[in-house]
Structure 1
């Protein structure tokens, strides 16, 4: 099978699974339903993914990669550091909010990221290290602690209001309030 055809098949599976997870939730979605929605035999699906958790993990891999890309893009902006960090946090969690938008199962899916705990842990370390480096460069006396504090607080805000229309502005406000006094 050609690489293009393999990618197309994998893409169909992930697209079908993503839609089902959003519509039905993770627990209610079966491999049979994913195969049906992807217009393929169950055997073909199982040849690509051993189980539903592996499918979900593949979706999380794409999500984590996208959130890091958007985080870095926002952090590289021309604004003052406090605004860049706020925008980067809003961009990072915005990827997750967009992925879960409109789903009645957003809370279940957000909580299910434990399946990709290692992915998210690595992503979180990358983000924490980047924020720590930026704060250190700005002369903050304890940049690692402040980075951890703002990131933990951001996660808490996102966990409580991932579907809120105000999430991006709330995260920017959080960054201004926690980081602003240290950066002025």
Structure 2
């Protein structure tokens, strides 16, 4: 991958990091309204962080399609490898839980429904141990740890935000060096 191609991807990482900043600000504001939590805004912000994390994960680890021609697959692998060399992304961005929290949610929800009737907790902000282990947690944020739980996956939003922010900082440094 040449530098002009790499620069386009580095700019995308910077853009995604900027979007994550907006989501993180919204999450802080939504959870700090004089003791009142704005649940829809918290989940909107969390989903923004998760979406950004999923986008970066896709850039850093190629997810090629079997029907793609060899040249397309090779380019994707080269792109991902080149970006990982520049960014050295945190492990949280590699975990499928980040992608699973937002991708294919419909199929995962279908599977939970097929498994039969059970108590389901959805779009709630509640501590992990508050309800025991019974029932399914569709989308829950733990107010103590800011872990986002979606069905059987859990992601630390602070860890994810830190990883995204580090990628954004690395993108800014790369772009500064590349310009000169």
- With the length of structure 2 as denominator, give the TM-score of the two structures: 0.34
- Decide which structure has greater strand share: 2
- With the length of structure 1 as denominator, give the TM-score of the two structures: 0.33
- Decide which structure has greater helix share: 1
Which of structures 1 and 2 has the larger relative contact order (alpha carbons within 8 angstroms, sep 6+)?
2
